[in-house]
Amino acid sequence: MEVFRKGFVPATSTNPADLATRGITVKVLQESDWLRGPSFLKSNSPTTSTIDESERDIDVNDPEVRQEVKDHATSTQRAFGLGSERFNRFSEWSTFQRAIAKLVMRTKRFKIKLEPQKSQHDHETTESGDNGGPTLDASKRAEILIIRTAQEEAFANEISVLQRRRGNEPESRQSLREKRTVLRKSSLFRLDPFLDKDGVFRVGKRIHRSDLGFEEKHPIILPKKHHVSELLVRHYHHKVYHQGRQITHGTLRQAGYWVVGGHGMVSRILNSCLTCRKLRGNMLTQHMANLPKDRIEPRPPFTSIRVDVSRNE
């Protein structure tokens, strides 16, 4: 490989760049090197020389020489489930639930294709509804899947403890002591949580014998400051037509959801709701204009007279 050294212009008269600073005629300009270029660039002149690249002396300690660094990093991450970080792409609960329900139905259809021995009933349950949307069963399964994903991320220690308790094997005193320690340190200790048949974290309490429905007696526990909890609060806030904090929170509880720190979350969402800020804003009062001069200066009677002329039809 040949490397060319930087050359120089032999004389000032042969430098075409100087022609722009001199006063010359058009005829001289046409015959000059301004349009053709200098002649020494077209021939091998002593101003340019070639050297072999191997003859160059490069000092490795020179700060101007960039050091060659090779770095290879490999990381492997294995993800299970949906991943709650994908939930932030949705801004409405109904749209979110519908999208996950369609995903559940497509997954079930794919499993049926892999297992042709499935019954006709299972194939019928995967069909869409009358309007082409997901079925009621798919929507319910999507709701359970979303809530379980959020709970497993926020209450991983508590769920692991309760899953061990559901096992049939007898537990040792040490394991029971560890479970008791984990639950007492948790913010859910007073709620007496348990896992239902679907693996959903619910409130226990002491109203098992009540005539209320199962969803009201044992509401689903939702984590604090989670995107799923915010979507549900906004959904029921719009459902009650932007009512206050008590009605919105009561409707959420009646629907079977218990948000940890729900009062604060509902208040925060209502404060950020544009419709509520417009409806509950302070009334504006009009600023009165200054009185005219003839009404504030003492004058004799009937000095200034105004008559309202109205047309009677």
Secondary structure letter of residue 261 according to DSSP: T
CA 43/CA 59 separation, integer angstroms: 34
* Sequence-ordered list of residues with C-beta below 8 angstroms from that of 143, at least 6 positions apart, any chain: 97
277 CB burial (10 A radius; 0-12, 13-18, 19+)? exposed
Specify whether the CB–CB gap between 162 and 155 falls below 8 A: no
User: Which letter, b or e, does each residue of 11-50 get, where b requires 16 or more Cβ atoms within 10 Å of its Cβ?
Assistant: eeeeeeeeeeeeeeeeeeeeeebbeeeeebeeeeeeeeee
Q: What is the pLDDT of residue 179?
A: 64
Q: What is the token pair recorded at 30?
A: 């046409």
42-78 pLDDT tens trace: 776 555 444 444 545 667 677 777 777 777 676 665 5
- Domain layout of the chain by residue ranges: 12-41, 91-96+135-165+173-280
Ranges of beta strands (E only) in the chain are 2-4, 50-52, 194-195, 201-202, 220-222, 257-259
Q: What is the pLDDT of residue 94?
A: 93
Q: What is the pLDDT of residue 246?
A: 93
Q: How far is CA 230 from CA 132, 225, 260, in A?
A: 28, 7, 12
What does each of the 313 residues of the chain score in pLDDT, given as a tens digit?
A: 444 455 566 666 677 777 777 777 878 877 777 777 777 777 765 554 444 445 456 676 777 777 777 776 766 655 556 777 888 899 999 999 999 999 988 888 888 888 766 555 555 555 555 456 788 889 999 999 999 999 988 888 888 877 766 555 555 666 666 666 767 777 788 888 888 888 898 998 778 888 888 888 899 999 988 999 999 999 999 999 999 999 999 999 999 999 999 999 999 999 999 999 988 888 888 888 898 888 888 888 888 787 877 766 5
Q: What is the pLDDT of residue 226?
A: 92
Specify whether the CB–CB gap between 155 and 201 falls below 8 A: yes
Torsion, Cα 180 181 183 187, to 10 degrees, reads: 150
Q: What is the pLDDT of residue 174?
A: 64
Q: Which of 77, 79, 78, 96 minimizes the C-alpha distance to 88?
A: 96
- Lookup result for tokens 């191997």: 54
Q: What is the pLDDT of residue 50?
A: 45
Q: Which residues pair with 4 in a beta bridge?
A: 50
125-163 pLDDT tens trace: 555 554 567 888 899 999 999 999 999 888 888 888 777
